[in-house]
Amino acid sequence: MPTDQFSVAGQTAVVTGASSGIGRAIAERFAADGADVAICSREQENVDPVADGITDDGSGGRALAVECDVRDRDAVEALVEATVEEFGGVDALVNNAGASFMASFEDISPNGWETIVDSNLTGTYHCTQVAGERMRESGGGTVVNLASVAGQRGSPYMSHYGAAKAGIINLTTSLAYEWADSGVRVNCIAPGFVATPGVEQQMGVTADEVDRDEVKRRIGTSEEIADVAQFLASPASSYVVGETITAQGVPRAMESPDA
């Protein structure tokens, strides 16, 4: 049975927040499968090594590194314009860029709230609106948003982050309906704990310590989220529209009284 439907080869994908962690894993996965990738970060020197690694590998697609703060509409427009100029269009957008910090609700300053909402939700709005215009003009494409389980059920000391991610989940559902007639599929991934550099700093768990074959666990790897992203950007997910796929390992559940 063929598996070509799971491939993103030949596509051009924009991946935001691709200097490390989940974004980097997605960019490298797409490129290894034959997609050209435009990758961005707020600091050029952070994203250049990722593009260099993809280019040096030489076995897949090409990479373009662009400095872009997704909160800045002009910077987002420049990112998409550079992508179209370099690769000829945009077929897929992965909205991974974001930020977070832990604080009780009463300790979140107006600036702190605005920073998190802008980095996660408003950045997703900017990138989707700008890249989506190119997709709709060319007959379609895919948008993969990155939310969080914090946006599905809330999370103590992460109210600003959870609120922003909940907005992304709702945006996914709404926009999937609006853009279906234009051939653009919009879906979302809600990861739980993933062994990214940020989580390593907070929890002391590295990706090397995660056994990907173990079912009973509560922490995953960036590569496992890249698996889901590739599926959602590929023809294999053609009947998946407006959905949020939760990737969190073993779910929380009430223990049986007989256990």
125, 157, 161, 239: which one is catalytic?
Answer: 161
Hey, what are 119's tokens? 């980095």
**Exposed, middle or buried: residue 4 (CB in 10 Å: 0-12, 13-18, 19+)?**
exposed
CA-CA distance, 126 to 120, in Å (whole number)? 10
Residue 161 annotated in active site:
yes
* CA 192, 193, 198, 203 torsion-angle sign: positive
Would residue 174 be called left, alpha or beta, if left means φ above 0 and alpha means ψ between -120 and 50 degrees? alpha
Asked if 7 and 30 touch (Cβ cutoff 8 Å), the reply is no
- Fill in the DSSP letter of residue 210: -
Question: Smallest Cα–Cα separation from 32: which of 15, 57, 5, 50?
Answer: 57
Q: Which residues are tagged catalytic?
A: 161
